[in-house]
Chains A and B, each alone.
Chain A
């Protein structure tokens, strides 16, 4: 199972300091919910898409669109029912399909959704796991919190691999594949596999705890750092860029 979210690629975005990148992503995600023009939001989405396209290629850059497409279809289907009191904009015969207000809101909802999807995705694609952890720590996450996330990423592929083996082992243990006997509901067929997988995972907890201690982990104990956030140029410049982009977006597109 793929457990890394980082996508290697090219472009300035990889050199943009992770701390200011996170701040910019969050601020822009909030700004799209303020009264700003849909055009501005679409522009934001387009820029994010183009950066993703340049950084990672067409196939990768289009992938978020696929994951949100069903949702956009649902918005198209349901938003018209919410706003019915305005003049009709689209009609089929005598039936009013959508009002002008509905179209306006639909447009806004879709724009916002695409924008936050691309901005959030772009952040996790272009920032390495260790940089994300260091960024969170810079913003105040305690070391133990970052450690939990790192350990989780260590165990995700391990448990995924084990889960595969466990379900294989159980498929070989079955007496006969649903030919004889009562056929029970399928949802309970998965119980033995789930139980084995959970017991298997729980058994690794004491070993993990012991190893953490053996390798010198304890709370409040001082540690040196192997990895640090390295930024090209002064950090101040990065934050300045972040502030400039965020304010100019608001000033240009606020209604």
Chain B
């Protein structure tokens, strides 16, 4: 049973000046869920779902700071009276990013750690660990380091931990993301059989969710709003729009990047098999100003191919050309940008302004006023504030900043990895069309097929170790 009443929360402000406004993430949020209830919090990214869940397991504000008001009771325990450690057996949170919740060096130790805290008897512990591992298909991996697992396996490991603890209250944050279809179904069955309270957050309404939840709510302006399943369906269908092309193709500047009869191998050996991963690409091409999609299941080699296209990894066999001229890795890096899924890899400066002008500073032909104008223009198009601190911005903002950085770098081609994960479709469409209007050739990588279809003119599909052009929609 979870009882939240009049909850308000504001993150701390770090900058000395008042440039960063204090914004309430949650304001007067109330929600109560009895035992046996399954509540879906359906809200766009960056609306406070994760913050709410982390407040419920006491990660916030204990470890982030911030101002909190209101009252929360979990199974009649006042959350503000106890320490986080006292809640282990009462409530379990599964994060959307499993990396931040894995602590140990093997899968079985990972499950054992909370059980040790709960002083479970070693024999009982063995039984629970074994059954949780086999239920989530991890028995073979019980002595494997979590860093060697795939994204889906890490999620399953966290679910195995959750099952082994057996707490009555579960918080699942975007938990369906990396699971394949069988385990999605298994999780839904487990949830149906669970007697306690479950709160699930999602920014996409999956078809499997129909009829699953006893209640659906949304976070609107920090407060809680009830939704019916029908309203949710309507909202979902409205989000997807087909991107309108404004092709401003001046023929002389349009160039073609193409890859022919190529073999791409993963430089590092994969964990499960000793044979290096290979992907064959009979024919792949993209013209400037065009948007194409690259789709395929997790682990099929989308990133491996992208790394070759932008010159990070060498091509094993075949030819990679721009306008018929073969391209070496260092020239490719100057022509093809790659927006990693994680925007934090390249963020390191104190302000958005510094990040945007950083690369321009090395170019002596650009004077300061030009740089400033370019940064301001870019901030306006990407809806950013120049004084903000990048590492403290929301995920959606960091993703836009990452886009803005590449926008200024003037690359002919840009590969955008899993753009739609963690930001709204609206923002994703905006970033893609900005690049396209500029005359960039855009490669959109996604495992969300409807989204990919709605943006791309052509779609390449990876299956069975081969990249093929899919027949037109």
Direct contact of A and B (CB under 8 A): yes
Given A154-B103, A171-B333, A211-B100, do A196 and B116 touch, yes or no (CB 8 Å)?
no
CA distance A212 to B84 in the complex (A): 9
CA distance A130 to B145 in the complex (A): 13
Q: Contact at A154–B347, with CB atoms within 8 Å?
A: no
CA distance A170 to B348 in the complex (A): 10
Q: A165: which of B129, B146, B342, B364 is its contact (CB, 8 Å)?
A: B342
Q: Contact at A218–B147, with CB atoms within 8 Å?
A: no
Query: What residues on B are CB-neighbors of A207 within 8 Å?
Result: 59, 63, 100-101
Residues B105-155 near A (CB distance < 8 A): 105, 108-109, 112-122, 125-126, 129, 145-148
B340, CB-defined interface residue at 8 Å: yes
Q: Which one, B19-27, B68-76, B85-93, B196-204, is touching chain A?
A: B85-93
Q: Contact at A169–B88, with CB atoms within 8 Å?
A: no
Interface centre among B63, B345, B346 (most CB of A within 10 A): B345
B441, CB-defined interface residue at 8 Å: no
Q: Contact at A213–B146, with CB atoms within 8 Å?
A: no
Q: Which one, A23-31, A42-50, A70-78, A221-229, is touching chain B?
A: A221-229
Q: Contact at A153–B105, with CB atoms within 8 Å?
A: yes
CB proximity of B283 to chain A, nearest CB, Å: 25
Query: What residues on A are CB-neighbors of B102 within 8 Å?
Result: 154
Q: Contact at A175–B360, with CB atoms within 8 Å?
A: yes
Q: A199: which of B129, B348, B363 is its contact (CB, 8 Å)?
A: B348
Q: Contact at A210–B346, with CB atoms within 8 Å?
A: no
Q: Contact at A177–B100, with CB atoms within 8 Å?
A: no
Q: Contact at B333–A224, with CB atoms within 8 Å?
A: no
Q: B122: which of A3, A173, A215, A226 is its contact (CB, 8 Å)?
A: A226
Q: Contact at A172–B310, with CB atoms within 8 Å?
A: yes
CB proximity of B267 to chain A, nearest CB, Å: 10
Q: Contact at A214–B93, with CB atoms within 8 Å?
A: yes
Q: Contact at A210–B348, with CB atoms within 8 Å?
A: no
Contact with B along A153-189 (1 / 0, CB 8 A): 1100110011001101111111111001110000000
CA distance A207 to B348 in the complex (A): 19
CA distance A223 to B146 in the complex (A): 23
Q: Contact at A165–B340, with CB atoms within 8 Å?
A: yes
Q: A221: which of B85, B120, B129, B348 is its contact (CB, 8 Å)?
A: B85
Given A207-B100, A215-B114, do A157 and B344 touch, yes or no (CB 8 Å)?
no
CA distance A34 to B101 in the complex (A): 49
Q: Contact at B113–A196, with CB atoms within 8 Å?
A: no
CA distance A226 to B330 in the complex (A): 51
Q: Contact at A210–B84, with CB atoms within 8 Å?
A: yes
B235, CB-defined interface residue at 8 Å: no
A208, CB-defined interface residue at 8 Å: yes
Q: A223: which of B89, B119, B391 is its contact (CB, 8 Å)?
A: B119
Q: Contact at B147–A215, with CB atoms within 8 Å?
A: no
Q: B147: which of A158, A181, A211, A216 is its contact (CB, 8 Å)?
A: A158
Query: What residues on A are CB-neighbors of B272 within 8 Å?
Result: none
Q: Contact at B340–A211, with CB atoms within 8 Å?
A: no
Q: Contact at A165–B345, with CB atoms within 8 Å?
A: yes
Query: What residues on A are CB-neighbors of B108 within 8 Å?
Result: 226
A206, CB-defined interface residue at 8 Å: yes
Query: What residues on A are CB-neighbors of B185 within 8 Å?
Result: none
B43, CB-defined interface residue at 8 Å: no
Q: Contact at A210–B330, with CB atoms within 8 Å?
A: no
Q: Contact at B122–A221, with CB atoms within 8 Å?
A: no
Residues B45-100 near A (CB distance < 8 A): 54, 57-60, 62-64, 83-85, 87-89, 92-93, 99-100
6 of the cross-chain contacts (CB-CB < 8 Å) are A157-B145, A174-B359, A175-B363, A196-B345, A210-B58, A215-B114
Given contacts A196-B345, A206-B63, A216-B116, 13 further A-B contacts (CB under 8 A): A4-B145, A130-B109, A157-B145, A180-B364, A203-B391, A210-B59, A210-B60, A211-B101, A216-B85, A216-B114, A218-B83, A224-B122, A228-B122
